[in-house]
Structures are given as C-alpha cells and as structure tokens.
C-alpha cells in the first residue's frame, strides 16, 4: 500500500528493517531490504536481507545503493570493488 500511495514500484524502492518479520514482509513485497538489527534481535535471523549492517551510522546511503546494485546483479557485495 505504501508503494502505491507513493507512486513507486518495488524496483524503485528499498526497505530498511530492524526485525526478521519486517525483512520477510519487505521481501514478500518484492523489495530489496537492508537490515539494521536492533539490540533485541538475533543477527543470525536476518539471512533473507540483502544487506545487514550494524548501524545506519556505519554506511552511507550511496554505499548501500551501490551494494544493492551489486546484489541485484548477482555479484558479491564486496568482491567486485
């Protein structure tokens, strides 16, 4: 519903989630997903996320977008730098 209201497709948006349920919902909606686990969640439960970062302060939006582009292209997020 949020994408429809914003006039976006799933290919033009990303989700940023802090729970495994949020990641699952984002992936079910066809979104690429960045997980930022909170201190109450087990980081091992974020395998469905495209990227997992420890803190939003750890990466720039540009870095996230470049990494998601690599993931979408089937390349390892770091290996091709």
Global pTM reads 0.80
Long-range contacts of 25-34 (CB under 8 A, 24+ apart): 29/3, 32/68, 32/71, 32/72, 34/64, 34/68
User: What total number of domains does the chain contain?
Assistant: 1
- The answer as to whether 32 is a domain residue is yes
* Rounded distance between C-alpha atoms, residue 29 and residue 44, angstroms: 22
- The answer as to whether 44 is a domain residue is yes
- The answer as to whether 33 is a domain residue is yes
Print the domain residue range for 29.
Answer: 2-72
Average pLDDT over residues 23-36: 94
Where residue 52 sits, what CATH number does that domain have? 3.40.50.1000
Is residue 60 very low, low, confident or very high in pLDDT (cuts 50, 70, 90)? Answer: very high
Q: Is the pLDDT of residue 43 over 90?
A: no
- The answer as to whether 11 is a domain residue is yes
Tokens of 65: 């977008």
């Amino acid at each position: 519903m949020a994408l429809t209201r914003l006039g976006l497709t799933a290919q033009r948006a990303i989700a940023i989630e802090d729970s495994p349920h949020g990641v699952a919902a984002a992936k079910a909606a066809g979104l690429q997903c960045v997980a930022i686990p909170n201190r109450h969640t087990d980081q091992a439960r974020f395998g469905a996320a495209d990227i997992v970062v420890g803190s939003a302060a750890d990466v720039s939006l540009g870095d996230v977008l470049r990494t998601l582009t690599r993931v979408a292209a089937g390349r390892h997020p770091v290996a091709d730098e």
